[in-house]
C-alpha cells in the first residue's frame, strides 16, 4: 500500500466523520482531498486538481469571501493565507459561507502537510445570542497586562481595558464600545497624513481566523500582535501586545543576515560573485529560462599567461590585475539579470539569461576592448597588456540543455580558444 493510498484511505475515513481533509506536498501543491472538503468549500468543486499550487486554492477561497473594495487586496490576503498555512501549529476557528469551521494543520514525516476541518455545532435553539458573556467578569479586563477586548458575534467591541485604548491611541473620552477593531485602527491612521495606510479590510478578515495570531501596523512604525479565542456562541476574547521592538529587532536581523549573505556570495578580491553563488544563481536562472522558453548563454574567460605576471611582478601586482579585469567585466555586464563571477584563480564566468550567441559575443568583445585600453604600466612599468581567451556556450532552447552541460561546452570552447593561439573568442551553439 503506497503512501498515496494510505492518505486516500484516511480521507475517506474522515468523510465518514464529516471532517474535511486536504493534503499538500512540501512545495504547497495540492495532492488529494475528500468529499467533505468540497462540501465545506464548494468554490473548489470542479476546479481543484492534483498539483494545483495552494496559492490558486487560496485565490478561489478569498474570491468567495471578499467583495467590493476588499477584492483590491486579494493578493495580500493570499500571501497572508500562505504564511498562515506554513506556520500553523495550533487549531483556529473561522467563519466561511455561514459555517463555523475549526481547522488543524500539521506537517507529516514525509514532508507533506495535512489540513483537517470540522464544522462546529450550531447554537442550540433558544440559547441567548451572547451566551457566555453575561457571566464574564468585566472588571477582570483591567487586571490583564496586555490590551484586551471582547467582541460580539458581529465583531463589535462590547468591552475593553485601558491598555487597549493606550495601544491604539484612543483619545480620552472617545468611546469604542460598538466599534470594530478595524474602526479603531482606521481612526489611528486617520490622525496622521497617511490615509493610504488604512486597514483596507485586512483586520476584518483576520478576525475571522480565531486562534491564528495576526499583526496590525500603526503610525510611527508601531506594531501590535493580536491573538483571539472565540466561544461556541461566537463571543471573541482578544489580547493585544506591543511588538514594535520585536519587529525592529527582526528588521535589524534581516538586514544583518542580508549583509552576511552578500558577503558570503562575494569574492573578496574582485567584488564579483564567487563560484558558489554563481552556481546557485545559474541553476535557478536556467530553470526560469526553461519555464519561459527563452535562450541563455554562459561564458568562461581565462587570463592568458597570467602565471608569468605573478612570477615576474609578484602576487600583489597579480591581484591588482585581477581587480582591473573584474572592473572591465563589470562594465560590460549592463543588464540586471546578468551575473559575473570570479570562478577561481584567473578564471571568470558570466551568466547571460535571455541572451543570444550574438549578444554574448558582443559582451565578450566589450571586455576585450576595455582590457586593450587599460594603462597596465601603472601596475608595473614592464607589464605588457593582458589578454583573455573566451569560451561561450549559447543555448537557443534551454529546455534541451542542462546548465552543467552548457558550462562543460563553454569550457571546451575556452580550450579551443587557448589552443588556437589565445586572445580570441570561441562560440559553441547548442
Q: How many CA atoms within 13 Å lie on the side-chain side of 88?
A: 24
Query: How far is it, in rounded angstroms, from Cα 193 to Cα 245?
Result: 23
Q: Give the architecture-level CATH label for domain 3-119.
A: 2-Layer Sandwich (3.30)
User: E strand or H helix at 206, and its extent?
Assistant: helix 202-206
Nearest CA-CA partner of 69 in 216, 202, 208: 202
Backbone angles phi, psi at 168, to 5 degrees: -110, 20
Which residues partner with 302 through β-bridges?
347, 389
User: E strand or H helix at 254, and its extent?
Assistant: helix 244-264
Query: How far is it, in rounded angstroms, from Cα 171 to Cα 162?
Result: 11
Classified as helix, coil or strand, 337 is coil
Same fold, 3-119 and 265-429: no
> What's the predicted TM-score (pTM) here?
0.48
Radius of gyration from C-alpha coordinates of the chain: 31
- For every one of its 430 residues, what pLDDT tens digit does the chain have, with 9 covering 90 and above? 788 888 999 999 999 999 999 999 988 999 999 999 999 999 999 999 999 999 999 999 888 877 777 777 788 788 878 887 887 777 877 788 888 888 888 888 888 999 999 998 654 344 444 444 444 555 567 667 789 998 888 888 988 888 999 999 999 888 888 899 989 998 888 888 765 555 555 677 777 666 678 888 898 889 999 988 777 677 788 899 999 998 888 888 888 887 777 778 889 899 999 999 999 999 999 999 988 889 999 999 999 999 999 899 999 999 999 999 999 999 888 888 899 999 889 999 999 999 999 999 999 999 999 999 899 999 999 999 999 999 999 999 999 899 999 999 999 999 999 999 999 999 999 8
| Cβ-Cβ contacts under 8 Å for 311 (sequence gap 6 or more) | none
Query: How far is it, in rounded angstroms, from Cα 251 to Cα 243?
Result: 12
Query: How far is it, in rounded angstroms, from Cα 144 to Cα 140?
Result: 7
Do 399 and 332 touch, CB atoms closer than 8 A?
no
| Cβ-Cβ contacts under 8 Å for 413 (sequence gap 6 or more) | 300, 390, 391, 392, 393, 426, 427, 428
Q: Domain 265-429 - what CATH class?
A: alpha beta
Which residues partner with 178 through β-bridges?
none
Domain range list for the chain: 3-119, 138-247, 265-429
Correct CATH for 138-247 of 3.30.590.20, 3.40.50.10880, 3.90.1300.10, 3.30.450.20? 3.30.450.20
- Terminal-to-terminal C-alpha distance of the chain: 44
User: Strands (DSSP E) along 152-219, which ranges?
Assistant: 157-160, 214-218
Q: Cβ of 232: how many Cβ atoms within 10 Å?
A: 15
Do 394 and 360 touch, CB atoms closer than 8 A?
yes
Nearest CA-CA partner of 351 in 282, 272, 301: 282
For cell 464544522, what's the residue?
Answer: 119
Amino acid at each position: 500500500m503506497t503512501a498515496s493510498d494510505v492518505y486516500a484511505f484516511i480521507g475517506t475515513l474522515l468523510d465518514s466523520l464529516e471532517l474535511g481533509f486536504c493534503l499538500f506536498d512540501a512545495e504547497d501543491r495540492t495532492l488529494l482531498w475528500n468529499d467533505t472538503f468540497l462540501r465545506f468549500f464548494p468554490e473548489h468543486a470542479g476546479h481543484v486538481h492534483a498539483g494545483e499550487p495552494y496559492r490558486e486554492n487560496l485565490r478561489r477561497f478569498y474570491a468567495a469571501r471578499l467583495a467590493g473594495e476588499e477584492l483590491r487586496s486579494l493578493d495580500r490576503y493570499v500571501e497572508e493565507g500562505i504564511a498562515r498555512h506554513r506556520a500553523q501549529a495550533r487549531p483556529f476557528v473561522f467563519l466561511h459561507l455561514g459555517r463555523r469551521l475549526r481547522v488543524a494543520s500539521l506537517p507529516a514525516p514525509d514532508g507533506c502537510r495535512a489540513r483537517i476541518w470540522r464544522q462546529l455545532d450550531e447554537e442550540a435553539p433558544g440559547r441567548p445570542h451572547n451566551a457566555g458573556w453575561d457571566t464574564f467578569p468585566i472588571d477582570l479586563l483591567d487586571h490583564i497586562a496586555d490590551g484586551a477586548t471582547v467582541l460580539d458575534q458581529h465583531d463589535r467591541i462590547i468591552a475593553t481595558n485601558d491598555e487597549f485604548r493606550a495601544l491604539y491611541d484612543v483619545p480620552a473620552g472617545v468611546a469604542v464600545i460598538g466599534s470594530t477593531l478595524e474602526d479603531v485602527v482606521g481612526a489611528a491612521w486617520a490622525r496622521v497624513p497617511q490615509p493610504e495606510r488604512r486597514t483596507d479590510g485586512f483586520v476584518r478578515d483576520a478576525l475571522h481566523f480565531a486562534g491564528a495570531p495576526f499583526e496590525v501596523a500603526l503610525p510611527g512604525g508601531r506594531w501590535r500582535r493580536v491573538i483571539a479565542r472565540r466561544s461556541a456562541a461566537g463571543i471573541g476574547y482578544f489580547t493585544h501586545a506591543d511588538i514594535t521592538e520585536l519587529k525592529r529587532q527582526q528588521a535589524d536581523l534581516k538586514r544583518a543576515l542580508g549583509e552576511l549573505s552578500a558577503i558570503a556570495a562575494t569574492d573578496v578580491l574582485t567584488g564579483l560573485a564567487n563560484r558558489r553563488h554563481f552556481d546557485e544563481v545559474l541553476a535557478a536562472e536556467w530553470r526560469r529560462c526553461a519555464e519561459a522558453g527563452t535562450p541563455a548563454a554562459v561564458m568562461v574567460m581565462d587570463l592568458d599567461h597570467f602565471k608569468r605576471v605573478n612570477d615576474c611582478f609578484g602576487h600583489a601586482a597579480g591581484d591588482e590585475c585581477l581587480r582591473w579585469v573584474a572592473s572591465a567585466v563589470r562594465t560590460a555586464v549592463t543588464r540586471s539579470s546578468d551575473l559575473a563571477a570570479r570562478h577561481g584563480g584567473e578564471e571568470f564566468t558570466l551568466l547571460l539569461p535571455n541572451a543570444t550567441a550574438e549578444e554574448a559575443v558582443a559582451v565578450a568583445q566589450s571586455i576585450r576592448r576595455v582590457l586593450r585600453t587599460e594603462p597596465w604600466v601603472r601596475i608595473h612599468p614592464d607589464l605588457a597588456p593582458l589578454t583573455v581567451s573566451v569560451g561561450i556556450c549559447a543555448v537557443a532552447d534551454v529546455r534541451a540543455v542542462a546548465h552543467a552541460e552548457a558550462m562543460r561546452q563553454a569550457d571546451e570552447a575556452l580550450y579551443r580558444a587557448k589552443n588556437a593561439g589565445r586572445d580570441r573568442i570561441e562560440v559553441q551553439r547548442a
